[in-house]
Structure 1
Amino acid sequence: MSTAKTNRRHETQIAADPALPTILITREFDASPERVFRAYTDPELVVQWLGPRRLTMKIDAYEARSGGSYRYVHREDDGTEYGFRGVFHEVRRDERIVQTFAFDGFPDGVSLETTVFEDLGGRTRVTTTSLMGSIEARDSMIRSGMQGGVREGHERLDELLAGRPSGDTA
C-alpha cells in the first residue's frame, strides 16, 4: 500500500461483538466532517455512492432531518429490486445521525443505527453502530453480504469526495 498522501487508502473495518447484537463499522475519509455529512444526507449525493456499483439506486424519499424518513431501492440489471426504509430519529449537522434501517425482504428486522462524524483535522472518521433485535438477526445481516456492499459504497464515497466518477447512478 502506498504511503503517499494523495494515494492514501482507508479500509472499512466491520466488527461484530460475539456477545452483543451489534455491528460496528468504522472508516476514515479524506474530507471534512461537513463534506462527509453532506454526502450522507443530500439525496443527490447519496444516490451516487450508497451500495455496490452493480446496482442502480432510486430514491423514493430521503428527508435527512430529525423526524424525517427515507425509502430507496437498489436494482439489479435483471430487474431484481432490494428496498430499504427507515426513520431519521436524530440528525445533528456534521456530528451525528440516528436512524432506523429495515430491508423490505425482512420487514421485522429493524435495526437502530447511530453514525458519528469525528473531525480528524481535514479528515473524518465515520463510526456506525447498528443494533439489531438479536444476535441471530445480526448474523443474518452479515451473511447477506452486507460487508461487500458497505466496503464498495465507501470506495465510491471516496471517489465522490475526491471529485471522481463513482460509477453508474440512477
Structure 2
Amino acid sequence: MQGSGTLTLTTPGPREVRMTRVFDAPRRLVFAALSQAELLKRWFSGPPGWNLAVCEIDARQGGKYRYVWHGSNGEVMGMGGTIEEFVAPEFMVSSEKFDQPWYEGSATSRIELSETGGRTTLTLTVQYDSEQIRDAVLKFPMAQGVEMGYDNLAAWMASAEGEAALAQLG
C-alpha cells in the first residue's frame, strides 16, 4: 500500500495515535462525507480490490455504525461501534471494534475538523486500551490504509460528484 504522503502521524500519549490531514474542501463537506452513509459509500472503499459492502451509520450521539469491506480474494473485514459524541460539523467521538482480532480490546476514535480559508484540517486521534496494543497496531500498515482512504476522500471531493454534494449541502 502506498499513499500520497499527506498524512502526518504522531503518538502524543502512551496509548494514542494521532493522524492529521488537510483537505482542499470546506469543513461541512468533509464532515458530511464522514458521517453520511450515502457519501461514505462514494470513497470509503479500502485498499485497491476492496469494496465497502455494508455501510450503516446513525450519525448522532448514541447512534451505532457498522462497516464491512470485501476483498477481491474473498477476504472480509468488519468493524463497528457507538457514536459517543456528535457535534456537526466540528467533531465526532466513537468506539471502534473490529470483527477480526487485529488487536485486543477496543479503541476510541475522535475526529476533529477545523476550517481556515476553505481548507479543512482533519485530526483523527485513536486511543487504545494500553501502550502495548497501540504499539502492536502501529506495526500494521494502519497509517497507510488511513492515508489511502483519505486520498480517496480528497479525490472524491475534487470530482464533479463531490462538487455536486457540496452544492446540495448549501
TM-score under structure 1 normalisation?
0.85
What is aligned with 1:152? Answer: 148
122-131 or 133-142, larger mean C-alpha shift = 133-142
CA contact (8 A) 1:37 1:93 kept: yes
What is aligned with 1:23? Answer: 17
The alignment yields a C-alpha RMSD, in angstroms, of: 2.0
Q: How does 1:16-95 map to 2 (within 5 A)?
A: 16-17=11-12, 20-50=14-44, 51-95=46-90
CA deviations over 1:106-158 (Å, ceiling 9, x no partner): 28521111111101120100001111001111122222211111010011001
CA contact (8 A) 2:41 2:55 kept: no
What is aligned with 1:120? Answer: 116
Deviation (angstroms), 1:165:
8.0
In structure 1, C-alpha distance between the alignment counterparts of 2:42 and 2:140, rounded to whole Å: 22
Identity within the alignment, %: 29
CA deviations over 1:56-78 (Å, ceiling 9, x no partner): 11225211111101111111111
1:161 counterpart letter in structure 2: M
> Runs (4+) of structure 1 moved beyond 6 Å?
none
Instruction: Show structure 2 runs of 5+ residues with no match.
Output: 163-170
In structure 1, C-alpha distance between the alignment counterparts of 2:151 and 2:98, rounded to whole Å: 22
In the alignment, does 2:130 pair up with 1:99? no
Sort the Cα spacing of 1:165 and 1:147 in 2 relative to 1 into closer, same or farther, 3 A. farther
148-157 or 59-68, larger mean C-alpha shift = 59-68
1:39 counterpart letter in structure 2: A
Deviation (angstroms), 1:30:
0.4
Q: Which has the higher helix share?
A: 2
Instruction: Show structure 1 runs of 5+ residues with no match.
Output: 1-8
In structure 2, C-alpha distance between the alignment counterparts of 1:140 and 1:84, rounded to whole Å: 18
What is aligned with 1:5? Answer: none
SS at 2:145 equivalent: helix
What is aligned with 1:140? Answer: 136
In structure 2, C-alpha distance between the alignment counterparts of 1:28 and 1:144, rounded to whole Å: 23
Sort the Cα spacing of 1:135 and 1:33 in 2 relative to 1 into closer, same or farther, 3 A. same
In structure 2, C-alpha distance between the alignment counterparts of 1:77 and 1:54, rounded to whole Å: 5
What is aligned with 2:106? Answer: 110
